Amino acid sequence: MDLDSIRAELDDIQSHSKGQFPRIRPKPGQNIYRIMPEYDGKRFYVKAFFHWKIAGMTFPCNATWGQECYTCGVSKIMKDRGKDKLANHLTSRPTYYLNALDLSSVIEVSKGVQVLTLSRPPMGQILGFISNPRFADLLNPQTGRAIFIDMRGSGIETTYTVYPDAAPAAIPDMNFLNKLFKLHELMTPVDIDKMKSAIEKLFSAGEAVNDPRTFTPAAAPAPAAYAPPALPYALPTGGTAAPYVLPQTATATPPPVMPSVTATPIPPQPAAPVATSVTPAIKSQLDDFLAKFEKR
């Protein structure tokens, strides 16, 4: 796994976020989280769309806000011209944001509520459990359950297995309910010039992946063997570890106060990206570099 590439990608995504906020994502192996309930009385997650690795850049799709998206317009043109694989590379993909606690260690629990980002496969399994009457109270802070996400493989071979804890339990500290992020306010639309720059670099640098006239895929390097980092605490050598319970008399260090921002609210989340029509204005903006592309 190329951790440097992942960190660069995450930094690029965060650069389009409303301020900085703690973000977590599943790591290879077993992960354990407690998903928090609805942050506004209605939603416990939001769904945002991203264009991934366009000439090394990742940015939100403006269809997330119901706006016309330049990159989606280019993707549609490529699809209409029979360049299906290139069109697919430019297509946006969903990312899900949830308020959650990382229960993997006492240290992680002490960090409080963080924003968990998930792709479609694990999120689909979580929604499947929540829709099952047996686990309908999965998000209940008193009687809900932790969830395990087992992540195996890498790249397109990555698989996820999600299952709830067998025993219901209360969250470690009810004060965490006062620290939920307003998830729909965390993202902001990207400027069209950034999209144009990324797509022009994709074509001009010969990186038009899957374009049969110019693209020859390089051999993928052998993935490095995964070695889990050393734990900052000692695990018991036998028996069953007692569940972690925060001391009732402890005074938790309050999290930093998030800066006040003027956010662009995300409308109710669509089941799929808003269909993007290519307006004459956007089509005219594409003509220059698409003409160069066709001459190659």
What CATH number does the domain containing 85 carry? 3.90.198.10
Residue 218: predicted pLDDT: 37
Is 225 a domain residue? no
Intervals of the chain under pLDDT 70: 1-20, 205-296
User: Which is nearest to 61 in space by CA: 238, 273, 225, 246?
Assistant: 273
Cα dihedral 150, 100, 131, 169 sign: positive
Is 204 a domain residue? yes
Strands 29-35 vs 93-102: parallel, antiparallel or unpaired = antiparallel
CA distances to 200, 284, 291 from 288, in Å? 10, 8, 5
H helix runs in the chain, sequence order: 3-14, 70-80, 84-90, 106-110, 120-130, 192-204, 280-295
User: Which is nearest to 187 in space by CA: 59, 26, 53?
Assistant: 59
SS3 for 129-141 is HHCCHHHCCCCCC
User: Which is nearest to 54 in space by CA: 177, 201, 216, 234?
Assistant: 201
Is 188 a domain residue? yes
Is 236 a domain residue? no
Residue 259: predicted pLDDT: 52
User: Which is nearest to 171 in space by CA: 148, 138, 141, 139?
Assistant: 141
For the stretch 114-128, what's the b/e string if a residue is b when 16 or more beta carbons lie within 10 angstroms of its beta carbon? Answer: bbbbbeeebbebbee
Residue 107: predicted pLDDT: 92
Task: Extract the tokens encoding 207.
Answer: 């990186």
pLDDT tens figures, 130-186: 999 988 889 999 999 999 999 998 887 899 999 999 999 999 999 999 999 998 888
Is 250 a domain residue? no
Residue 261: predicted pLDDT: 47
Is 220 a domain residue? no
* Run of H or E including 163: strand 159-164
> What is the Cα–Cα distance from 42 to 27, expressed in whole angstroms?
29
* Run of H or E including 152: strand 147-152
- Domain span at residue 39 reads 3-208+255-295
**Cβ–Cβ < 8 Å for 162, 122:** yes
Is 150 a domain residue? yes
> What is the Cα–Cα distance from 96 to 250, expressed in whole angstroms?
33
> What is the Cα–Cα distance from 39 to 206, expressed in whole angstroms?
45
Is 245 a domain residue? no
pLDDT tens figures, 258-267: 555 455 555 5
Calculate helix-pair angle for 280-295, 70-80, nearest 10 degrees: 60
Residue 171: predicted pLDDT: 95
- In angstroms, how far apart are the furthest CA atoms of the chain? 72
Number of domains in the chain: 1
Which residue reads 């998206």 in tokens? 69
